[in-house]
Amino acid sequence: MRAFAVVVVALSLAATAEARPAKKKRVAIDAPAPRERVAPVAKALRDRSIGAPWSGRLQAPAKLKGGDGYVIRRPLRAFGTRTTVELVKDAVTNTLEAFPKTHVLAIGDISAERGGWITEHASHQSGRDVDLGLFYKKKPAGYPRSFVRATKANLDPAATWKLVWELAKTSTQDGGAQIIFLDYEVQGIIYRWAKEHDVSAKRLSRVFQYPNGRYSATGIVRHFANHDNHLHVRFKCRDRDTQCR
């Protein structure tokens, strides 16, 4: 009798076990594979230029750091949009690689970390303006600590043309160069050298205001007073900078 009861219980347990669905390995079908996981929004995508160059500010900026062949004159004013910083660094690096025997380059102000007004400038407030020194046949006294006035006697037109072109050719890119301020007479020194060294008339016309007059609205490089010792490069608003002016 006891044996019969044991058999009945065993059969009952077996039936119960068969009635339950088999326990399957859990598969998280909604979870993305490790390579597809979405990372938090990176700082690189949050940087913003807000407002105008003469009345603006910066959000989550990038910083241009010192490197071989160039000197950041004031690191606390070396902040800009990531695009500005990357384009400036690329232009400078490409120039230095093409002219490895030239002296160090002075890099002046971009913007303060949060943008806004800084001394000695009416602009440089929204991370899209940068001052770059010029290249000389021989490193002048006081350079790169200070910018030095360019003349036909001291300017290295080949290296300076390379730097100008590396900047100017970004004008077709999102956030690329919008305008470059440089004294009209200094433009002429570089222009004449480039023309003598077979740079095409079409390219020169695209880049320089010279020889059309210092008030001509032609070319990316335009005359501006007190800019005979450096380039002032202004970069365009990027498409994503909806509050940029």
For residue range 39-70, list pLDDT tens digits in order.
444 455 699 999 999 999 999 999 999 999 99
Is 50 exceeded by the pLDDT of residue 31?
no
Three-class secondary structure of residue 244 per DSSP: strand
Q: Which residues of 81-99 are buried (b: 16+ CB within 10 A; e: fewer)?
A: bbbbbbbbbebbeebbeeb
| Mean pLDDT across 20-27 | 39
Please give the radius of gyration of the chain, using alpha carbons only, rounded to the nearest integer.
31
pLDDT at residue 239 in the model: 97
pLDDT at residue 237 in the model: 98
**Distance (Å, whole) CA 84 – CA 234:** 9
Lowest mean pLDDT among 6-10, 82-86, 169-173, 240-244: 6-10
Q: Tokens at residue 106, please? A: 């002075």
Q: Per-domain residue ranges for the chain?
A: 43-235
Is 206:135 a contact under the CB 8 Å cutoff?
no
pTM of the model: 0.82
| Mean pLDDT across 132-160 | 98
> What backbone torsions phi and psi does residue 46 show, to the nearest 5 degrees?
-100, -15
Domain 43-235 has CATH 3.30.1380.10: yes
Is 70 exceeded by the pLDDT of residue 74?
yes
Residue 28 pLDDT level (bands cut at 50, 70, 90): very low
Residue for token digits 């695209």? 206
